[in-house]
Amino acid sequence: MQFIVIASLIASVLAVPADIAPRNGVCQDGILYTSPQCCSADVLDVACLSGNGPPEQPSDANNFREICGRIGKQAKCCVLAEVADQDVLCIAPV
């Protein structure tokens, strides 16, 4: 009986949903291509060279392109940000 009560309490605690992180509205929702980066050069949508996060918070994809364009870079949404000073698997923002 005690086991059932304790197991039920643990199951109910685990069933509570976690807080959802707010979306930045610039890159795709989900787990891939969620890191906004301003890239100096793009290598076949596989690597982004000399990428950094945008210097200011973009409001949407067009604003993201404008922000990166002002500093002479391309707006990209990457899977892995800053691996050996390169961003990996990058696409254009939607």
Please tell me the pTM assigned to this model. Answer: 0.64
pLDDT in tens, 10-19: 766 556 555 4
What is the rounded distance in angstroms from the CA atom of residue 68 to the CA atom of residue 73?
5
Task: Examine the pLDDT at 25 and tell me if it is beyond 90.
Answer: no
What is the rounded distance in angstroms from the CA atom of residue 94 to the CA atom of residue 91?
9
Note the pLDDT of residue 71: 93
Note the pLDDT of residue 70: 94
What the chain holds in terms of domains, given with CATH numbers, is 21-91 (3.20.120.10)
Note the pLDDT of residue 21: 45
